Structure 1
Amino acid sequence: MAQVALSDSQGDNRLATATNGRAKANGSNANGKRPLAGSGSDLTDDDMPLAKRAKGTTTNGSAPAANGNGKAPKRKAVESSDSEDDMPIAQTLKSVAVPMPGAVEQPDDNDDVPLAKTNGRGARGHPRQSYKEESQSTEDEDDSDVPIAKKAAPKKRASNGKGKQPPKKMVKKEESDESSDEDVPLSQKTPAAKPKAAAAMPAAKKRKSEPTTPATKKAKVEVKKEESVSPVKARGKKAKSEDADADAQAKAEEAEEEESYKYWEALTAAGDGSQKWTTLEHNGVLFPPPYQSLPSTVKMLYEGKPVDLPPESEEVAGFFGAMLETDHAQDAKFRENFFDDFKTVLEKHPPKNGIKIKSLDKCDFRPMYEYYEAERAKKKALSAAEKKELKKAKDLLEEPYLHCLLDGRKEKVGNFRVEPPGLFRGRGVHPKKGKLKLRLYPEDMIINIGEGAKIPVPNIPGKWKEVIHDNTVTWLANWKENVNGNSKYVFLAAGSSLKGQSDIAKFEKARELKKHVARLRKDYTADLTSKVMADRQRATAVYFIDRYALRAGNEKGDDEADTVGCCSLRYEHVTMEKPDKLILDFLGKDSIRYYNELKVEIQIFKNIRIFKDGKSIGDDLFDRVTTTGLNKYLQSYMKGLTAKVFRTYNASVTCQQQLEKLTDPNATVAEKILAFNRANREVAILCNHQRTVSKGFAASMEKMNDKLRALKYQRRKLRYALLTQEPQLKKKRKELVEEESDLDDEWIATHEDELRKKEIEKTEKKFEKEKEKAAAEGEEEPKASVLNDRIAAINEEYDRLKKERGSKNVELKSAKSAEKIEEALEKLDERIKNFRYQITDKDEGKEVSLTTSKTNYIDPRIIAAWAKKHGVPIEKVLSKSLITKFPWAVEVDPDFVF
């Protein structure tokens, strides 16, 4: 994979070697990292260990400050042995420290000493056996929607020196460390005020019928509020209009108004962000149907004997039975956790025939597995009409829950379906996989709705646990799952106004970092040689966050996954190889392994050596740094700046630079798409968005190669047909004589037999549809002889092809002129070329996830602007769901620059 060198002049040097990582995982090299400004492989006094520096200089190589008498204090040069180069800072400072005037000696202050030197182990340096929940909020989710009662109390403002607090400025609330949903309250929006993002967007398209002004928008919303029907009332009935034409016109106008509402134009840059909405109506959540007992003939076996389980126990046994042939069911930890919970359920609901179940190995779930497999096969074998009816019934059931009314506007709801019970699978190496996820009831659910709105009725018997009216949060429902005890929420869909406003604010904050990043890098580079251990550790941590997009890392509880980030790296996670190589190996987010071989600056290498000195396995590497303290330091440079903002900034900058580097304006659309995916892949590597190669990857690649051979087969037929008509071309055009690769007689025979079989199946299905249509319309059904004649014609054609296999004299099924064949050959050559790009793209991306970066980290305006500029259809690089999620980005100007 290509080395990535990014310009420092733009203040955006992110990777140095973005692809050196994943090192052995991807087989790439770890060399080529460009040093930070002010540091390098040549040791200056600035880079030398403190123990080896002359006393007459400061840490930056300048003369010491005056002592108050206009003269600098005299110092004698002190020589030290090479062994002192490896000594902790505290052991080298006595000969260089200059006490400040009025300073009081603090013998117990160890800020400049690693904690390992003070108590033998880091404050957080203990071995952890902690784990992370599968469904815990992902990176693009946040805690901005947590009820106020659960939020931390605001800090008191500093005094202005006169005994009074300064007046509170009206500023936009910034997102927290893991937050991206601090939305501006809709009630406080000022249509005239626009965000910084608006400068990069074209003016809104106005409706032809009337100009769209703040006044008319407000009036329309008010009218809509008065005329709107509560979604609860609309559950089973719809208001009947006396005038059908007027009703249709009203619906059309409403749809046009919804489509024309562009929340990003009404986004205000002011407000404290406390209130998110004024009115909210919705139908609650959709609970899964109750459990249906298995047929009496389907029983779990224990020591070969059928076990008569009550429904409560049978349901849990069925969860395991349905997964019998999966890797989960073979996993020791999964089996252990399942059986522990299964025994607990059996104690409350024991087998009716008195069988005692004491060992999972003696349980036989095969009958259950076979039953569920048969049910799946039946569902798959349903006719198109039957599947359509099932979907219609499902849509009818879900329709009331799809939307809510937010401030009078119809907004789509996200995850309104309550998660059904089952077995927890977890991500990565999770110790709770296999545990039972209990069935949820209305009594487990807290509903958040507008005050005065009609309270929704659950679709199953029961009453809500609580109904609240909190307009400072954006969730509609909240419950606590039993496996890890975490709160889970129902939010609006990704394309909603609240989510969209949050996304805009997130990417604008990352863009703002451009103004401050140069100063921040200069300061933390200087602190890499600080005499204070806490400052030196913090600077080194920021270096890793800035250069390699490491997550900050947070403390984990005993029941969470043992995943770490920069601040929580431990002694065993970093291996050193002289002179300047660091190997990082740890479990990152979602228990995904992070492995990276880094060639770093000499000063960074020295710092890590000092941080590890005196420590052992289980001790924290950065024992003087916490995530909270680190983010507080970052926010001193820019309000709201956190380690996560760095990841968004790094990803966006890297994507834009790589697109400029890799895109050839004169290339085909297929080549440009390949360039885009390669640029996105660099971002995914930077952010460690790795994935394991899927089990079906080899089969999928073989299938693609077979499709490529099928295209070559078509080309061969066209080429032979052209030469049959125009034999003189054999001497004039060599490309028409050269044989296609990968095509042998055996493969051609197999391919033609498969084509024959598929065409016959297609003809039979078409005949069945014709019969169904005739029966539905009361017409005479076609006779079986019609089908037989069609199949006979297919067999006749493929028998003819069979005879042509050994001959180069080919006749096409439909006669074509030489000119038409030439045109078909040109189109087919282009298809083959583009399909080869797809195969290359798939192979290169087999170990990298390209979705996460586009969903959470890359500013979508970069992608949309690139697509417009180079004539690439936006749907080729952004999925339909992402286009819905980022409608504000699609309207960006082609010249947009992050």
Structure 2
Amino acid sequence: MPLSQVSRVKSEPMTPVRAIKRKKIQSDTSSSDEETPLASSPAKRTASGAVRMNGALEATTTSNGKRKAPIKRSGSGDKDSEDDAPIAKGKRVANGKAPRKPPKKKVKEDNDYSGGGEGSDDDKPIARKAPSRVKRKLKEESDADDETPSDDDKPLKRAPAKKTPAKRAKKEKNGSEAPLDKKNGKAKSEGSEEPAKKGRKKKEEEDADVFRWWEQQDPDGDGTQKWQTLEHNGVYFPPPYEPLPRHVKMKYNGKPVDLPLETEEVAGFYAALLETDHAKDKTFNKNFFDDWKKVLKKYPPRDSTKITEFNLCDFRPMYEHFEAEKAKKKAMTTAEKKEAKAAKDTLEAPFTHCVLDGRKEKVGNFRVEPPGLFRGRGDHPKKGSLKYRVRPEDITINIGEGVPTPKPNMPGKWKEVIHDNTVTWLATWTENVNGNHKYVFLAAGSSLKGQSDMQKFEKARELKSHVDRIRQDYTADLKNKLMADRQRATAMYFIDRLALRAGNEKGEDEADTVGCCSLRCEHVTLLPPNQLVFDFLGKDSIRYYNQVTVDDQVYKNIKLFKSSKEDDDDLFDRVSTSSLNKHLASYMKGLTAKVFRTYNASITFQQQLDMGTPEKGTVQEKLNAYNHANRMVAILCNHQRAVPKTHEQSMGKMRDKLRGLKYERMKLRHTLFAIDSKYKKKKQYAEDESDLDDDAIAEHEDQLKVKELERVEKKFNKDNEKLAEDGKDPLDDSVLKDKRKEVEEDFKRLKKERGTGKAVLKRERPTEKIEEAIEKLDERIKTFKLQMEDREAGKEVALGTSKINYLDPRITAAWCKTHGVPVEKIFSKTLLTKFPWAMEVDLDWKF
């Protein structure tokens, strides 16, 4: 079913959601025929299954005016729901009741921590079995859609030196044009090697160190053993707590309190957040104070102060001390900062890499997250709770047999040392707030991570051969007389068409977030004749609110499922996530609800790019088309975010920069007018720049003057730092004074030129060069306006999550080669390292 124009219904103010204990999910009573594999349908060009919804294409479309055809598809306004990963047999481990040995298969990972750990998808365990290159077991990933964009969402500013191909095609003897190389879209020719550049040798050395696992015949070995030898130095523990100066103390009821170190440390966690939104949150404050009182009971104040009321606590002195320390750190010289970084790197160096099967591989999250206050996401019931300091006694280490056991960088002994080569984690422990397992894995660019990513996307591509048959079957089952089958078909409809997550059972002390299979009757409202309103808390307690038109039979089914039930009853009371995934596996090995989400995201993205990319557009117009397609996927998968607090400030800076470009253009025009008045009659120079009246010009010149004076002073101080390092005398203050005087004279001249329509450049330039500069500025202004439109359109959508987790990177690599867009403008250095196997795809590759 083709994607249709869609739009997210603007949600009304969110009402509190009751935390109601759900009834136990009944077992699936479907027939045994489900376990019989069905014949797969032949491969066809399929489409995303997203349904038509009321209107949001305009909200995300940028007006570049150069698309080949209007975008006719977009993702649904789906909000994030429960956990994305397939549910393991049995219930999840209750908080604080972890088994003695960590599980070797998939364990649900907590993405909701704050602090020094890496809360990304790289913290997931890799599936145990991995048969062959194409049909390997799919690694489950989850969202990491933080409100603030990660580094993965920032494109590189400069493209790295291109790697010289190992073999070049010979030029044809008849002198005809060389054939096109499908891998890079460039004509093959002999002797076209670029001259060596600075840094080229280092780049080639780095490439030589890359283990090209994707070129192996059987990169996964026997499918169960992940490695043969593994040696590493364990994990890096954060430094011990440093006590505050004796004069810095919190106050209680207006009087300073003498706290022991253990209690002072926890108080400092809250003091550091005093001016944030967390400190204004009632749940956060309550959980913090409850946990802090437990610490106070064990380590009471030395002066016998009884702390019983949160409102009487004054953490301001501690906060001001932390702010002063930040200011000192910010004021450090460049040399001091380099020295501090070098010392930190020296301490962490032994933990950054491991030796896997004789190869040096980078470790991902080797740092143990420090103690602090749990922040969570959304309306998490445990935000503000105390995260304990993790010690060696809490951690299980996984290394190869016969290799030296690493020693912790703090006092203590490991909880356990195991030698399990069927799992890929190096260390694991259980955090105390939610009882979730934490893992240390190899870095995103490692061979094991790369194999897992490729397996995931290959599994989604494999679904293309089966999706038509699956849709045909669940559409037929919408009328099945067996209620369990009818409920399962309706749930599959929502998972396919709305990209909902499957959902999972939740404990009473966990956030009341739900997925498709765990929806309650109160979460879905019927609007005759055929519309449904979904309103619930999804993953990370993000509200999902969507009004969608559905098939008549689906509407009738929901009405039937809700009949004779209370609001807090399960909507799909005869369907569980495990039974649903078991049914999906009967169509295709390894198929789960998660695979549908990855498939629909990637196929939608491919279709949006094919339809929306302007063939003859500029690079920026093509980038806008790419980001538009990504936004459609983000809407489909509900990767929304709150508008960043710095958005308006950022847009203000962009408007200032645009005004600066227009100011430059105006000055160049006026210079031409001063040289020859005939330029005033030329069309391309006659019209004044918009938004540049006398007041705007005066304000801009004042800002330029301030910046120029700051630049002169910074350069003066930097020059003196270099001279001091070389043991030479510093520059005299008169040098700075003369530079300042020059700046003052320049801006006096600019002030005299205001309103005259004429200008003189600081350095003379030929008219041809001035005309050329104006032409370049016109192009820069046009490009920058497109960037501003793109930034504004994406302020409520998190593009990084889909790019990292749901979009096959080969789509991006092939698109960049086809349309001549540098991949560095889309993928950060981190993503280029994460997806090296995707960069060598042919330019005509399609998902």
Give TM-score, length-normalised by structure 2: 0.80
Which residue does the alignment assign to 1:460?
410
Compared CA separation, residues 295 and 177, structure 1 to 2 (3 A):
closer
**Alpha-carbon distance in structure 2 between the residues aligned to 1:628 and 1:140:** 22
The 5 Å alignment of 1:373-522 reads 373-522=323-472
**Alpha-carbon distance in structure 1 between the residues aligned to 2:676 and 2:709:** 33
**Alpha-carbon distance in structure 1 between the residues aligned to 2:473 and 2:207:** 53
Q: State which of 535, 541, 556 in structure 2 corresponds to 1:585.
A: 535
User: Cα distance, 1:207 vs. partner?
Assistant: 9.1
Which residue does the alignment assign to 1:725?
675
* 1:620 corresponds to 2:597: no
* 1:550 corresponds to 2:527: no
Conserved? CA contact 1:20–1:598, under 8 Å: no
Post-superposition Cα deviations, 1:234-254, rounded to whole Å, max 9, x if no partner, equal: xxxxxxxxxxxxxxxx99998
The 5 Å alignment of 1:271-350 reads 273-350=223-300
Aligned positions, number: 711
* 1:771 corresponds to 2:720: yes
Which residue does the alignment assign to 1:800?
749
**Alpha-carbon distance in structure 2 between the residues aligned to 1:265 and 1:560:** 44
User: Cα distance, 1:20 vs. partner?
Assistant: 4.6
Compared CA separation, residues 815 and 756, structure 1 to 2 (3 A):
same
User: Cα distance, 1:11 vs. partner?
Assistant: 2.2
- Secondary structure of the structure 1 residue equivalent to 2:355: strand
**Which 4+ residue blocks in structure 1 deviate beyond 3 angstroms?**
2-5, 16-26, 131-146, 168-173, 175-180, 203-208, 250-257, 269-272
Compared CA separation, residues 392 and 446, structure 1 to 2 (3 A):
same
User: Cα distance, 1:862 vs. partner?
Assistant: 0.3
Compared CA separation, residues 767 and 23, structure 1 to 2 (3 A):
closer
Which residue does the alignment assign to 1:891?
840
Conserved? CA contact 1:648–1:858, under 8 Å: yes
* 1:820 corresponds to 2:769: yes
List gaps (5 residues or longer) in structure 1.
27-31, 35-123, 125-130, 152-167, 181-202, 209-249
* 1:789 corresponds to 2:824: no
**Alpha-carbon distance in structure 2 between the residues aligned to 1:267 and 1:551:** 35
Conserved? CA contact 1:132–1:561, under 8 Å: no
**Alpha-carbon distance in structure 1 between the residues aligned to 2:721 and 2:139:** 59
**Alpha-carbon distance in structure 2 between the residues aligned to 1:639 and 1:479:** 31
* 1:364 corresponds to 2:311: no
User: Cα distance, 1:551 vs. partner?
Assistant: 0.6
- Secondary structure of the structure 1 residue equivalent to 2:311: coil
Conserved? CA contact 1:528–1:604, under 8 Å: yes
Paired AA for residue 876 in structure 1: K
User: Cα distance, 1:268 vs. partner?
Assistant: 2.3
- Secondary structure of the structure 1 residue equivalent to 2:572: coil
The 5 Å alignment of 1:798-877 reads 798-877=747-826
User: Cα distance, 1:781 vs. partner?
Assistant: 2.8
Compared CA separation, residues 510 and 20, structure 1 to 2 (3 A):
farther
Post-superposition Cα deviations, 1:306-363, rounded to whole Å, max 9, x if no partner, equal: 1000100000111111111111111111111111111100111110111100101001
**Alpha-carbon distance in structure 1 between the residues aligned to 2:440 and 2:575:** 35
Which residue does the alignment assign to 2:138?
175
Conserved? CA contact 2:109–2:123, under 8 Å: no
User: Cα distance, 1:23 vs. partner?
Assistant: 12
Greater Cα offset, 271-280 or 622-631: 271-280
- Secondary structure of the structure 2 residue equivalent to 1:361: helix
Q: State which of 728, 731, 736 in structure 1 corresponds to 2:685.
A: 736
Residue identity (%): 61
Paired AA for residue 112 in structure 2: S
Conserved? CA contact 1:554–1:627, under 8 Å: yes
**Alpha-carbon distance in structure 1 between the residues aligned to 2:748 and 2:461:** 65
* 1:649 corresponds to 2:599: yes
Give TM-score, length-normalised by structure 1: 0.75
Greater Cα offset, 691-700 or 620-629: 691-700
Which residue does the alignment assign to 1:193?
none
- Secondary structure of the structure 1 residue equivalent to 2:354: strand
Greater Cα offset, 778-787 or 718-727: 778-787
Compared CA separation, residues 413 and 254, structure 1 to 2 (3 A):
same
**Alpha-carbon distance in structure 2 between the residues aligned to 1:535 and 1:723:** 79
**Alpha-carbon distance in structure 1 between the residues aligned to 2:452 and 2:498:** 26
Higher RCO (C-alpha 8 Å, min separation 6): 2
The root-mean-square deviation of aligned C-alpha atoms, in Å, is 3.0
User: Cα distance, 1:682 vs. partner?
Assistant: 0.4
Paired AA for residue 428 in structure 1: G
* 1:880 corresponds to 2:829: yes
- Secondary structure of the structure 2 residue equivalent to 1:728: helix
User: Cα distance, 1:863 vs. partner?
Assistant: 0.5
Compared CA separation, residues 487 and 23, structure 1 to 2 (3 A):
farther
List gaps (5 residues or longer) in structure 2.
7-42, 62-71, 75-90, 92-107, 144-162, 169-200
Q: Larger Cα Rg: Structure 1 or Structure 2?
A: 1
Conserved? CA contact 2:602–2:806, under 8 Å: yes
**Alpha-carbon distance in structure 1 between the residues aligned to 2:391 and 2:123:** 25
Conserved? CA contact 2:124–2:140, under 8 Å: no
The 5 Å alignment of 1:690-709 reads 690-709=640-659
* 1:10 corresponds to 2:45: yes
Which residue does the alignment assign to 2:608?
658
User: Cα distance, 1:809 vs. partner?
Assistant: 1.5
Compared CA separation, residues 172 and 581, structure 1 to 2 (3 A):
closer
**Alpha-carbon distance in structure 2 between the residues aligned to 1:352 and 1:139:** 41
Post-superposition Cα deviations, 1:642-700, rounded to whole Å, max 9, x if no partner, equal: 01000110011000000011101100000000000000000000001011112221222
Which residue does the alignment assign to 1:236?
none
Compared CA separation, residues 283 and 522, structure 1 to 2 (3 A):
same
* 1:258 corresponds to 2:209: yes
Conserved? CA contact 1:18–1:686, under 8 Å: no
**Alpha-carbon distance in structure 2 between the residues aligned to 1:555 and 1:400:** 41
**Alpha-carbon distance in structure 2 between the residues aligned to 1:270 and 1:809:** 71
Conserved? CA contact 2:132–2:220, under 8 Å: no
Which residue does the alignment assign to 2:112?
135
Paired AA for residue 252 in structure 2: Y
- Secondary structure of the structure 2 residue equivalent to 1:779: coil
The 5 Å alignment of 1:176-195 reads none
* 1:634 corresponds to 2:584: yes
**Alpha-carbon distance in structure 2 between the residues aligned to 1:587 and 1:774:** 60
Post-superposition Cα deviations, 1:570-624, rounded to whole Å, max 9, x if no partner, equal: 1011111111111111111111111211111111111111111111211111111
**Alpha-carbon distance in structure 2 between the residues aligned to 1:459 and 1:583:** 54
**Alpha-carbon distance in structure 2 between the residues aligned to 1:684 and 1:704:** 24
**Alpha-carbon distance in structure 1 between the residues aligned to 2:133 and 2:217:** 15
Conserved? CA contact 1:281–1:404, under 8 Å: yes
**Alpha-carbon distance in structure 1 between the residues aligned to 2:436 and 2:208:** 39
User: Cα distance, 1:749 vs. partner?
Assistant: 1.5
User: Cα distance, 1:170 vs. partner?
Assistant: 13
* 1:761 corresponds to 2:710: yes
**Alpha-carbon distance in structure 2 between the residues aligned to 1:859 and 1:613:** 42
